[in-house]
Chain A
Amino acid sequence: MSVQTLRWAVADGRTLTGRALAHWARRPGEVAVALLFPVMVVLMMGYLFGGQMDVPGGGSYREFIVPGMFALTMAFGVETTFAAVAGDAAKGVTDRFRAMPMAPSAVVVGRAAADMLHSVAALAVMAVCGVLIGWRVHDGIAGALAGFGLLLLLRFSLVWMGIYLGLMAKGPESVAAVQILVWPIGFLSSALIAPSTMPGWLGAIAEWNPMSATVTACRELFGDPGQAGTSWAAQHSVLMAVVWPLVIAAVFIPLSVRRYRAMGR
């Protein structure tokens, strides 16, 4: 690849990232709803059910679920990515891009960059709301940054899953199918409930869930309440919170690239 080609690839990727940002500017209401939904879940869980919930090892349930909600938001981001990619494909916008002399990588790079920016904004809003309801980072700034890094790493790997599913989809309506896939994975984890309180086999699945790795690692790094489980995965959550996203990305990046290329066949 020549320097010129690379420069255009970067410029085109930026143009398409800018496109997504322009969408937000055009639809601030939609963005606000997307950002406030996780906040609402935290408030609901924290205040409605909070009194009933015991955190194994002690501590406030509200503080327990904030890192969980961070990770759930990253997971539900798959739907955003999916809907955008599938919508462009269904409306012929992807074909228009493909028939233009632009860098082919820009379509996915632009998408990934925009979704990552969106996730950073979502985490910032949630962190502020978390602080307002009593969530704290107890173990210093380095741990906090590492925790947010792991969350964004998870989101990054899921961007590729969303791109792949979006390219495979028949239309944006199938977002319901993606929800059916994502929600159980999201909830069958340590995000909102400690796996040790689940029936044995479910708890085991939950502890090995990639989501749980990130949640448990974040609790550890933030110094938030919640005991890690006894499984190997739970005991090595920080390691698993790096390994799982890398595995997901290693699977879905080549699949997405192949699928994008195969659109011409």
Chain B
Amino acid sequence: MAEPRFAVEAEGLRKRYGGPRDGTQALDGLDLRVPAGTVHGLLGPNGAGKTTAVRVLTTLARPDGGTARVAGHDVVREAARVRTRIGLVGQHAAVDEVLGGRQNLVMFGRLYHLGTARARRRADELLERFRLTDAADRPAGEYSGGMRRRLDLAASMILAPPVLFLDEPTTGLDPRGRNEVWDAIRTLVDGGTTVLLTTQYLEEADRLATGISVVDHGRVIAEGAPDQLKARLGGDRIEVVLDDPGALSAAAGIVGRVASGEVDVDAEALRVGAPVTGRAAALTEAVRALDEAGLAVADIGLRRPTLDEVFLHLTDAGKSEKEVPA
């Protein structure tokens, strides 16, 4: 069978928990398309429906409505086929904490029907690859959070599945653990795996994902490449940080002249910021004008909006704080 163009294709997924009145509409018409061989980020606040989406796509939960195909197979009608083509790392590391890392991988390998000898060989390969060989015989319950995650990841990779689902793979990890997991994910993607990743860390989506869907209230409210999403917030911004609070209003006037939109003044941080269109021209113009006015500048620069700003802007959380026209 030819590889489908989209590794994950969901249309109008709906899923409700509880009754019609007191329940929660966890998925409310979710659409998703993930091209094969890419990393796609599912971004959203707590309760947005990310985990529910992953559970439906990995055959763990039955949708009330809509359809989804993973690796070319329907998640409801061909659940068994889907299960041979996916790996899942759930929100909480799901490994046997009493058994050692190697025992875990051999057990899962046998349950994937590799046979004992192949399951052993595969376990050793994966331990090596995820740098767990030294800890292979210690109980997984004694592993650090990062090691446990890597074991979890290794277990989901036993069949080298074409599609991998990772539900908040780095939540609760320190920066080092996070980097380890990111490296592991990048290696998998280089090998051709499609990854659907949910996260609350925008930095994570920014670094790993080629496409992002922002989810809220069980629906996709924005999608695109990280840069496209950022561009929707109004492109580049100029920011000036001053030494002297007295210079704030003069600086705001100068920045206002080069700006393409409203000027923000943060008196506490002694910072003046505004969106600009011509990047270099605006920067040189501002530097020259500030210098002429004799204002002492601590820092000046151009930057793109962070994904956090995009996120706050798009989801409810940010709407009440600031209304920015898209």
Q: Are B110 and A15 in touch, CB under 8 angstroms?
A: yes
Considering the complex, give the chain A residue whose CB is closest to the CB of B104. Answer: A19
CA distance A101 to B107 in the complex (A): 13
**What residues of A have a CB within 8 angstroms of the CB of B55 in the complex?**
95
Q: In the complex, A161→B99 CA distance in Å?
A: 26
CB B302 to nearest CB in A, in angstroms, measures 45
A residues within 8 A CB of B93? 92
- How many contacts A-B (CB < 8 Å)? 73
Binds A, one of B84-92, B123-131, B236-244, B287-295: B84-92
Q: Which single member of B90, B113, B155 contacts A95 (CB below 8 Å)?
A: B90
Return chain B residues, CB-CB under 8 Å to A98: 59-60
B interface majority secondary structure: loop
Give residues 71-121 of B contacting A (CB, 8 Å): 80, 83-84, 86, 88, 90-100, 103, 107-108, 110-113
- Does B139 have its Cβ within 8 Å of any Cβ on chain A? yes
Known: A15-B110, A19-B99, A19-B107. A101 touches B94 (CB 8 A): no
Would you call A23 and B98 a contact (CB within 8 A)? yes
A15 touches B111 (CB 8 A): yes
Q: Which of A12, A27, A91, A99 contacts B86 (CB 8 A)?
A: A99
Q: Which of A8, A12, A22, A96 is the one whose CB lies under 8 Å from B94?
A: A96
Evaluate contact between B62 and A264: CB separation under 8 angstroms: yes
Q: Which of A15, A16, A100, A106 has the most CB of B within 10 A?
A: A100
Are A8 and B113 also in contact (CB < 8 A) when A22-B103, A26-B139 are? Answer: yes
Number of interface residues of A (CB under 8 A): 26
Residues of A within 8 A of B108 (CB): 96, 100
C-alpha gap A99/B163 in the complex (Å):
13
Among B305-325, those with CB < 8 Å from A are none
Q: Mark out the residues of chain B between 32 and 62 whose CB falls within 8 Å of any chain A CB in the assembled complex.
A: 55, 58-62
7 new A-B contacts at CB < 8 Å, known A8-B113, A16-B111: A12-B111, A23-B98, A23-B99, A26-B99, A95-B94, A96-B90, A98-B59
| Ranked 6 nearest A-B pairs via Cβ | A92-B94, A101-B83, A96-B94, A101-B84, A102-B111, A99-B88
Interface set of A (CB-CB < 8 Å, partner B)? 8, 11-12, 15-16, 18-19, 22-23, 26-27, 91-93, 95-102, 106, 263-265
